[in-house]
A = this chain, B = another copy of it.
Amino acid sequence: MSRFRNLIHTSISSIRSSTTCKPSHHRPFFHMPISHFTTSTKSTPSTLPDLFSSNSSVLGPTEPNEKPRIVVMASGWAGCSLMKAIDTNVYDIVCVSTRNHMVFTPLLASTCVGTLEFRSVAVPLHRIQPVIDSTPGSYFFPARCTTIDTDDHVIHCETVTDGSGSNTLEPWKFKVSYDKLIIASGAEALTFGINGVKEHAIFLREVSHAQEIRRKLLLNLMLSDVPGISVEEKSRLLHCVVVGGGPTGVEFSGELSDFIIRDVRERYSHVKDYIHVTLIEANEILSSFDVRLRQYAMKQLTKSGVHLVRGVVKDVQSQKIILNDGTEVPYGLLVWSTGVGPSTFISSLQFPKSRGGRIGVDEWLRVPSVQDVFSVGDCSGYLESTGKQPLPALAQVAERQGKYLAHLLNQIGKAGGGHANAAGDIELGAPFVYKHFGSMASVGSYKALVDLRESKEGKGLSLAGFVSWFIWRSAYLTRVVSWRNRFYVAVNWATTFVFGRDISRI
């Protein structure tokens, strides 16, 4: 493969030197032969060997004298913490993902209402692992994996070109050979098969979702003031409904009520009495938290004007949702956050599965039925044979699994087992053990919950209020992966405190 790469590079340089016009600094303007464009285009086919025919859309297997290649599928918490900790002297890294950044998901809710900028919660991959795209053999490919061929150690991918204009390339298929494959493609938002959720609700899992929520919220605020709108429509437009009372739903509701209390009342005073937030949950809100904290959260949310409703959604229509008891809830903005389940891609894989349909892994996070395949994060769970329950779909689980697996792979690589089918008798050491560090959730108005118990039944510190909120902010700030983002988050928080939230709809 390296020879192949060299061959390409040589050919490229020869083309470039023959066709590119190197600007001379002292030559006067416009004396450059602009015909070099046409020349370049026309001459390329004849000077270039046919390296890039259909069968060259392959990043082929590594040679024994090359570094082994780790292929990481996706760039979420698990994949990124793994890539960060991989010893790049031992391995090359190829990341296949639809986005070139990691999203700091716990702070995503704050971006919808302008407390934080979108850029502050997106950490570019090169800040997580600088070798990607900058050293030979390590790449980022903007693509999604479609199938895995474990016999040949190859994944099949297709490029993603969404959101681009008309004159970009059509998506194309390519293959990447791996020595070690890490499936860390995460989970998908659960809709429980309810009609209309995917069409009308917005999830809160990607920066693009937060952007959509923000644009819609601000547009609704602006439209609700235009002559010709009925009182009914105005109330509907400004009714924000959140379905799902987990940490994401609660934090988003809290941010929204902060936004309403602090910013809407002052700046959109014509419509301030029409805007309302309703949080719908079928069971308890924040069910993983201590009962005392749950009650505190409920009280706090209610106090900030969030309307808490126990209900089960039956049907989602374009302007209203219908609950099981027949109640109709008109809405202008619907955010859906009822937990996650296996994605279509994960379900399509023919590996043994854990409870809940995730990829089944053993205690070393290997997919035991095949060679050199591992899985971490929300898409994986312990096989029943391990006698363990799948771990919760949390950022802290994913992050620690990624880190553990990176160290395991580093160790395997250093022992000479980095290449495909070479890790046979290497001692793996201790299996992955998850220790829960506690849970946190903000509930708006400078209040948060911190539950430091190891399990739901365990004992330990739990607290709520301003001190928790301070812990919540500090803890998240230290968890933000790059210094640049950390700096920006701190600046954003300070600016919001001083100037209020930004409401430009861009």
Contact = CB atoms under 8 A, between A and B. Distances in A.
A32 B173 CA distance: 54
Interface stretch (A161-169, A345-353, A404-412): A161-169
A207 interface: yes
Given A228-B52, A307-B32, A142 B100 contact: no
Interface residues of A, number: 127
A318 B173 contact: no
A327 B58 contact: no
A228 B23 contact: no
A309 B32 contact: yes
B168 A219 contact: yes
A195 interface: no
A215 interface: yes
Interface in A477-505: 483-484, 487-488, 491, 495, 499, 502-505
A208 B323 CA distance: 38
Contacts of A491: 491
Scoring A135, A285, A308, A326 by chain B CB atoms within 10 A of each residue's CB, the highest score goes to A308
Chain A binding surface, main DSSP class: mixed
A430 interface: no
A288 interface: no
A216 B331 CA distance: 34
B174 A226 contact: yes
Interface stretch (A121-129, A183-191, A360-368): A121-129
A119 interface: yes
Scoring A30, A269, A483 by chain B CB atoms within 10 A of each residue's CB, the highest score goes to A30
Contacts of A38: 326-328
A174 B228 CA distance: 6
Contacts of A466: none
Contacts of A502: 119, 124, 484
Interface stretch (A229-237, A417-425, A440-448): A229-237
Interface stretch (A10-18, A385-393, A394-402): A10-18
Interface stretch (A81-89, A295-303, A336-344, A454-462): A295-303
A437 interface: no
Given A134-B269, A139-B225, A165-B200, A231 B15 contact: yes
Contacts of A23: 302, 305, 307
A326 B39 CA distance: 12
A229 B168 contact: no
A233 B467 CA distance: 56
Which 4 pairs, one residue from A and one from B, show the smallest C-beta to C-beta distance? A57-B228, A101-B504, A30-B310, A167-B318
